[in-house]
Structure 1
Amino acid sequence: MAPGYNFTGLEDYQCIHILLKAHAKACHIYDEKFRAEQQGSVGIVIDTAWFEPASGSDEDKEATERGLQLMFGWFANPVVNGNYPQVMIDRMDERSAAQGYAVSRLPKFTDEEIAYIKGTHDFVALNFYTATYAQWTEESDLSDLSVLVFPDNAWEDTDPPLFRVVPWGLRKTVNWISKTYGNPEIFITENVYSNGGGLEDDRRINFYKVIFNMDVN
């Protein structure tokens, strides 16, 4: 992906760390200079898939939560609560030490930065595309997530193949965000269904019918 960098497991965390501080700075500037006159809202857009436990085991449930926290919570938890998810902090501390790093590859926020970032949102926006099963797996040097992810082959694919069509995944994701982050206002800013163009759009129509008529707790 452009610009073609091959991150080593350090730069990606540093990049997001700076991004989150920049987001907070932009929010505070808006509060100080523009909000009173414009009465606008500020939020953050976050991409995630839904992680569905591959079984009813405690390990797979743990893998599901870890997947969500290390994908969505990486951004949302600092903006809502001021710091990275605790499961992410603990995991990165442990993995970094095992890999021989003197400090965690996940940068630390100062107490002042935590207070500055916390609450810098009027809404949370979601880009959602698909879901995947999540299965607990042994530690791996290949991924900090260390979650085995795979689709159900029975799930409909798009044309051309892009993302598996899992409408209930969107509903479950929204419910999880609401329960995890204190029921924030949520905007869905992207939700993809690829059909290769044309006006024969029955599959996409059915996709949205399922979403808006589904009762998923």
Structure 2
Amino acid sequence: MILEVWPCIFQIQELEDRYGGWLSPQIREDFAYYASICFKHYGDRVKYWVTLNEPNVVAIRGYRSGIYPPARCSATFGNCTSGDSEREPFIAAHNMILAHAAAVNLYRAKYHGEKKGSIGIAMNTVWYEPVSNSSQDKQAAQRAQSFYMNWFLDPIMFGKYPEEMENILGSLLPEFSDDRLQNGLDFIGINHYTSFYVKDCLYSTCVQGPCISKTEGYYLRTATKNNIPIGEPTEVDWIYVYPEGMEKMVTYLKNRYNNTPMFITENGFGEMHQPDSSINSFLNDDKRAEYMKSYLDALISAIRYVTQTFGYTHMYIYTCA
């Protein structure tokens, strides 16, 4: 059994009202207390623990765009009553990372000897393909990974933020002083659905569309190259069928994080909710079957050539209303 301690569940209104939720260092202690209760009462059955599910999405959508609770953002980033999109995502992320570390250190010190389980974190992952072979676009693809996924995994594994983030953000990034962060997980959970192209906006001019800001990494994310999508579009506007992205994502994580064990904690095909659909249309789901076959084939290739330790725990039918 895998049990996820989700930040969206833990982000209860009481803590938001009392001290600002993830914007306060106090949440680290409360999160560890909450985790301890879970370890104590479920540890005899749960052998794989996920402390936080998609904390990168929580930081970005909760504190930059404001479309998730607690709905904080600056006026240029979204429609919120309060917030600072250039600063608060990094404060919230910093506290999530240290809350994760507190839970991991507690489990290893107090519960692992008896419970014999493993503990990790689940990240939303997107494979970013450089739109060209230019060095600028390749660097932009690396920045995209650093500002999206490595933002959390680098501190947990190496005790510091990615170099790309430090170079661009400087003092906007909080500092770590706790060396217990390093090697702060037993496995990486991978939530992977899709991939995008990336074009540089730091060293070159983007003419295809709006570049994202300094605090997001200075790149243009696009689903098309020469008007051709990176993969077959689905009914969900951000999900494209690009199974190569699964293999490349796993290879990237293996190389960057020293072959740390990995689980695919989410993966699935995207479609819109269709209340009038018949049972036959649900049963004859050829596109979903092909999606799963192609992504599992890519995963098998990654397991064969890339890593020795792997798991696949969730297949989602990603349906939007």
Deviation >4 Å, runs of 4+ = none
What is the identity, as a one-letter code, of the residue corresponding to 1:83? K
Task: Mark the runs of 5 or more structure 1 residues left unpaired by the alignment.
Answer: 94-103
- The answer to whether residue 232 in structure 2 is matched with residue 165 in structure 1 is no
Alpha carbons 1:195, 1:201 under 8 Å: kept = no
What is the identity, as a one-letter code, of the residue corresponding to 1:135? K
- The answer to whether residue 114 in structure 2 is matched with residue 37 in structure 1 is yes
Per-residue CA distance 1:46-101 (angstroms, 9 max, x = gap): 112110010011111100111111111001111111111122111211xxxxxxxx
- The answer to whether residue 213 in structure 2 is matched with residue 146 in structure 1 is no
Alpha carbons 2:212, 2:220 under 8 Å: kept = no
**2:269 aligned counterpart, secondary structure:** coil
What is the identity, as a one-letter code, of the residue corresponding to 2:233? D
| Structure ID, larger Rg | 2
What is the identity, as a one-letter code, of the residue corresponding to 1:84? Y
Give the CA deviation at 1:22.
0.8
Aligned residue pairs total: 204
Alpha carbons 2:197, 2:223 under 8 Å: kept = yes
Say which structure, 1 or 2, has more relative contact order (CA 8 Å, 6+ apart).
Answer: 1
Q: Distance in 1 between matches of 2:220 and 2:238?
A: 20
2:268 to 180, 192, 199: 192
What is the identity, as a one-letter code, of the residue corresponding to 1:3? P
**1:173 aligned counterpart, secondary structure:** helix
What is the identity, as a one-letter code, of the residue corresponding to 2:185? H
**2:99 aligned counterpart, secondary structure:** helix
Alpha carbons 2:268, 2:292 under 8 Å: kept = no
What is the identity, as a one-letter code, of the residue corresponding to 2:292? Y
Q: Distance in 2 between matches of 1:5 and 1:69?
A: 23
Q: Distance in 2 between matches of 1:161 and 1:138?
A: 27
Give the CA deviation at 1:196.
4.1
Q: Distance in 2 between matches of 1:75 and 1:150?
A: 23
Per-residue CA distance 1:83-139 (angstroms, 9 max, x = gap): 11122111211xxxxxxxxxx1111112xx1x1111110001111121110111137
- The answer to whether residue 180 in structure 2 is matched with residue 116 in structure 1 is yes
Alpha carbons 2:72, 2:85 under 8 Å: kept = no
TM-score scaled by structure 1?
0.87
Q: 1:122 to 1:141 in 2, by over 3 A?
A: closer
TM-score scaled by structure 2?
0.60
Q: Distance in 1 between matches of 2:272 and 2:236?
A: 6
Give the CA deviation at 1:192.
2.8
